[in-house]
Amino acid sequence: MRAVIWQLLQREWQLSWRRPGDVLNPLVFFAMVITLFPLAVGPEPQMLQRMASGVIWVAALLATLLSLDGLFRSDFEDGSLEQWVLSPHPLTLLVLVKVLHHWLMCGVLLVLLTPLLGMMLALPWSVIPVLCVTLLLGTAVLSLLGAIGAALTVGLKGGGSMLLALLILPLYIPVLILGTGTMDAALQGLPVQGYLLWMSCLAVLALSLSPLAIAAGLRIGVSE
């Protein structure tokens, strides 16, 4: 069991290392959207600070969505998913590892960029750690929920990216509200533990239930 997890992480790593564009595109998108905002709305710190958390969260959400479309597609097209479904190892475990890798390559890298972009939006240093922690938890939820949509749309000919967005965006809204709510509280100096616990709840819920849904979605996709 441990061997297959290790091998899968290694395989995913090799795949993204050889196609760096797939990893870099969402990151560049994220950085560009946030960089353009101060240019468009002007450099006043008060205004930027008020918008900052919203802008960062929306950009992170859309960047994740952008990276999700191809999550299972190439494995579906070259027959890899058939082998996954037929493997004696549980499909839920395999997809969980795959999504974990996606989160490392998308969510975690976004979070690493965030302190710099937060400064650009005039966020005080004191709230940056809170922002990073909520984003870290939040992007995990985004990856897990998004993978359900990616699994359900995997068999659609001609790309299901529009359908994926329609399916998944409503599910992203609670994360968005909670994430920006945390930041508002932090900026006003209010306690944020409650928000963080709620976000952790969402992350645990997504972590425990979404692999089942992803695996079921992929089984349907493969059986078509």
Partner 1 sequence: MAAEQIDIIDLTCERDERELFRGLSCRLQAGEVLQVAGPNGAGKTSLLRILAGLMPAADGDVHYGGRSVLGGSGREHWRRSLLFLGHATAVKATLTAEENLAWLCALDQPVTPEAIWDALAAVGLRGYEDVPCRQMSAGQQRRVALARLRLQHKPVWVLDEPFTALDQAAVRALEQQILAFADTGGTVVLTTHHSLDHLSQVRQLDLGRVA
What is the smallest separation between the CB atom of 28 and partner 1, expressed in angstroms?
Answer: 21
The dihedral through the CA atoms of 20, 23, 25, 27 has a sign that is negative
Which amino acid is it at 149? G
If the CB atoms of residues 16 and 143 are measured against partner 1, the closer one turns out to be 16
Site of interaction with partner 1 (CB under 8 A): 3-4, 7-8, 10-11, 14-15, 18-19, 74, 77-80, 82-89, 222-223
Radius of gyration of the chain (CA): 18
Backbone dihedral region for residue 205 (phi beyond 0: left; psi -120 to 50: alpha; all else: beta): alpha
Six-digit token string for 98: 């795959």
If the CB atoms of residues 193 and 223 are measured against partner 1, the closer one turns out to be 223
What is the smallest separation between the CB atom of 96 and partner 1, expressed in angstroms?
Answer: 15
What is the smallest separation between the CB atom of 68 and partner 1, expressed in angstroms?
Answer: 19
If the CB atoms of residues 65 and 94 are measured against partner 1, the closer one turns out to be 94
Within 13 A of 94's CA, how many CA atoms are on the CB side? 22
If the CB atoms of residues 17 and 44 are measured against partner 1, the closer one turns out to be 17
What is the smallest separation between the CB atom of 154 and partner 1, expressed in angstroms?
Answer: 13
d(CA 32, CA 150): 25
If the CB atoms of residues 74 and 126 are measured against partner 1, the closer one turns out to be 74
What is the smallest separation between the CB atom of 79 and partner 1, expressed in angstroms?
Answer: 3
Q: Are 164 and 66 in contact (CB under 8 A)?
A: no
DSSP 8-state class, residue 72: T
If the CB atoms of residues 3 and 40 are measured against partner 1, the closer one turns out to be 3
What is the smallest separation between the CB atom of 52 and partner 1, expressed in angstroms?
Answer: 38
Minimal CA–CA distance to 172: which of 200, 198, 139? 139
